[in-house]
Amino acid sequence: MNRTCFNTDLSIKNVEQKVSLIGWVSKKRNLGSLMFIDLRDRSGIVQVLVNDSINCPDIRNEYVIHVTGTVKKKDVPNKALKTGEIEVVADNIEVINTAKTTPLIIADETDALEDTRLKYRYLDLRRPVMQNYLDVRHRIKMSVHNYLDNLRFIEVETPILTLSTPEGARDYLVPSRIHHGSFYALPQSPQIFKQLLMIGGLERYYQIARCFRDEDLRADRQPDFTQIDIETSFLDQDQFLTMMEGLIAKIFKDTINYEVKLPLRRLPYKQAMDRYGSDKPDTRFGFELHDLKEVFKNTTFEAYQKAEAIKGICVNNVASITSRKVIDNLTLEAKKFGLGGLSILKNENEELTGSFTKFLLEEEKAALIKEFDSHNDDIIIIAAGPYNRVSPLLGALRNQYARQLDLIKPNTFDLLWVIDFPLFERDIESNAITSTHHPFTRPRDEDLKYLDSDPTKILSYAYDIVINGYEAGGGSLRIYDQDIQKKIFEILGLSEEDIKRKFGFFVDAFQYGTPPHAGMAFGLDRLTMILGGTDNIRDVIAFPKNLSAVCPMSGAPAVVDEQQLIDLGIQVVKE
């Protein structure tokens, strides 16, 4: 079974060469005196011609076979195949292993439901499209290694079994067999350790790190995921973002041969929320949010008089297809965001119509048409209420309409930085102050004056890189002053005892010459999803979990033997 090459190494240059190939039978066509086999290996497919002059064993789809033969030029090329100009005329075929009939079609287009694909993932991975996703993932990683190595970064592994610290999501806990009642936590990120590496004098660290978060799942989230983790010392924000732009440009070039135009735009968080209703805006299409406070400054509508924010979007050329059912669905969407409803107006022959018009003054109608430059068949959607509910709702509707109306050109990429995030945010329900990112994010120097008076006014040196409306990575300059770090902990309501218990070793390290440092993490899974051209993160992970955080293939999570629980000092309480 000495293989001479991969299938797609063969071309017209190899005509009359003797070759030895190994792979899976993708398809077989038996024409009596001739048989054609599409032989598939990881590189792709080559056609094998089998004459009735050779003794060919019984062959079926997905059998593993060894073929020896001669490369010949085809009379009629197959332009759909990379090897379409040639075929291999077999001298001998050997069956290495047989296969049962597969529960899914092994091809780019398959009829299998996702549950079936995940249960038989080892078969799903034979599909060329799936192998391409993993190839893109691999090329991203190689690009990262090469770029960062040339800038004198050093790759360092950080612990997987660590201390449970508050980082925004639930930890996955691992019980200790040796110390009953004590638990390790799987890291939500290497955040504390990479900062300690800066204190340790490494200056430029990176790691392609496994991370774990016990949170509710969605299409672009997994309980265990991978991030490209980076930390540097002695760089300011401009220097660091410029360095990271170079990395993302190299990734795009190396993986899909796409030229990213640098420098990337930098959009302040407040502008992003005001204009797009999202801190991860997709700016490939319009429908920007408009502030309508001035339009309704003299309103007689009581709900608008009391509203903190009144904002709207105008969607072109949809009034004629906006039925009562569509309007009801929009109202349901508003309720998901904690708002009572929406005001929806249609522009019909340059006049605003709809049940809400009875609350509008004539000058308000005219002002709305002028504000949005609205024309016949447009609809205007208005939301009023708390700012942090109104803007996200309209941002979600903006994205929804862009998808429905096919406003986004395929194979286009929109990259930008969102900067100047608030350092803190206030929980709507509890009114408690929490960190917008994490408690180690550095406040902007000019806002330190608000630490005692009004912390919610403080902006931070935090930044996210946004690609096509996805947060593809994020980070910040870090606090390196121990007094400021202590103050941040106090604002978050942590007592001295809490600080010592949760961050004791980290706070202690700040006393020994902490350098100014900055870092970020790119989501490897999301980057692969974007560059691979899929909207499902499970496509780009070899063995993912489903939306219930279950692996249909292995059955994890599962119950364990009673003795294992006894060894760990654990008793399971049944619901």
Give the pair of three-digit tokens for residue 115: 């549950």
Do 390 and 299 lie in a common domain? yes
pLDDT, tens digit, 9 for 90 and up, residues 223-277: 999 999 999 999 999 999 999 999 999 999 999 999 999 999 999 999 999 999 9
Question: How confident is the model over 338-359, as a mean pLDDT?
Answer: 93
Phi, then psi, of 540 in degrees rounded to 5: -105, 10
Residue that finishes a domain, picked among 385, 404, 423 = 404
According to the model, what pLDDT value does residue 504 have?
Answer: 85
Domain co-membership, 190 together with 208:
yes
Rounded CA-CA distance 284/380 in Å is 20
Q: Residues 442-491: pLDDT tens digits?
A: 999 999 999 999 999 999 999 999 999 999 999 999 999 989 998 999 99
> Is the residue at 104 inside a domain?
no
Sheet with 154-155: strands ordered across = 154-155, 204-212, 224-233, 517-523, 470-477, 462-467, 415-419, 265-268
Q: Which of 97, 122, 156 is the last residue of a domain?
A: 97
Whether residues 420 and 381 share a domain: the answer is no
> Is residue 377 situated within a structural domain?
yes
Is the domain of 424 the same as that of 538? yes
Dist. CA 559–CA 224, nearest whole Å: 20
Q: Look at the alpha carbons of 399, 401, 403, 405 in this order and tell me if their dihedral is positive or negative.
A: negative
Kindly report the CATH number assigned to the domain that includes residue 440.
Answer: 3.30.930.10
Residue 291: pLDDT band by 50, 70, 90 thresholds?
A: very high
* Distance between CA atoms of residues 39 and 25, nearest Å: 5
Q: Which long-range contacts (CB under 8 A, 24 or more apart) does 362-367 make?
A: 364/295, 364/296, 364/299, 367/295
> Does residue 541 share a domain with residue 498?
yes
Q: Kindly state whether residues 363 and 232 are assigned to the same domain.
A: no
Domain-located, residue 399: yes
Q: Do 250 and 310 lie in a common domain? A: no
- Outline where DSSP puts E strands in 260-386: 265-268, 290-291, 309-315, 343-348, 351-353, 379-385
Residue 467 lies in a domain: yes
- Report how far residue 162's alpha carbon sits from residue 172's, in angstroms, rounded to the nearest whole number: 11
| Domain total in the chain | 3
Does 464 lie in the same domain as 356? no
Residue 88 forms part of a structural domain:
yes
Residue 123 lies in a domain: no
User: Which backbone phi and psi does 25 adopt, to 5 degrees?
Assistant: -75, 110
Q: Which CATH number fits the domain that encloses residue 57?
A: 2.40.50.140
The DSSP call for residue 76 is: S
**Averaged over 495-523, what is the pLDDT?**
91
pTM of the model: 0.92
Q: List, in sequence order, the alpha helices (H) in 260-386.
A: 269-276, 302-306, 324-336, 362-372
Residue written as token pair 């398959």: 110
Q: How far apart are CA 181 and CA 189, in angstroms?
A: 24
Could you check whether the bond before residue 455 is cis, i.e. omega within 30 degrees of 0? no
Do 443 and 550 lie in one domain? The reply is yes
Q: Are 19 and 68 in contact (CB under 8 A)?
A: yes
User: Do residues 11 and 138 both lie within one domain?
Assistant: no
Mean pLDDT of the chain: 94
Give the pLDDT confidence score for residue 201 in this predicted structure.
98
pLDDT at residue 503, as a whole number? 83
pLDDT per position as a tens digit, 68-120: 999 999 999 999 999 999 999 999 999 999 999 999 999 999 989 999 999 99
Q: Write out pLDDT tens, residues 130-175.
A: 999 999 999 999 999 999 999 999 999 999 999 887 766 899 999 9
* Whether residues 383 and 516 fall in one domain: no
Residue 117 covered by a domain = no
- Per the domain annotation, does 204 fall within a domain? yes
Cα–Cα distance measured from residue 419 to residue 403, given in angstroms and rounded to the nearest whole number: 26
**380, 404, 428: which is the final residue of a domain?**
404
Give me 171's structure tokens. Answer: 């930890």
**C-alpha distances in angstroms, 154 versus 59, 145, 148, 206?**
51, 10, 8, 6
What is the radius of gyration, based on Cα positions, of the chain?
29
Q: Do 300 and 259 reside in the same domain of the chain?
A: no
CATH number at residue 353: 3.30.1360.30
Q: Which domain holds residue 375?
A: 285-404
Question: Are the CB atoms for 100 and 120 separated by under 8 Å?
Answer: no
Distances (CA, A) of 417 to 205, 220, 478: 22, 20, 18
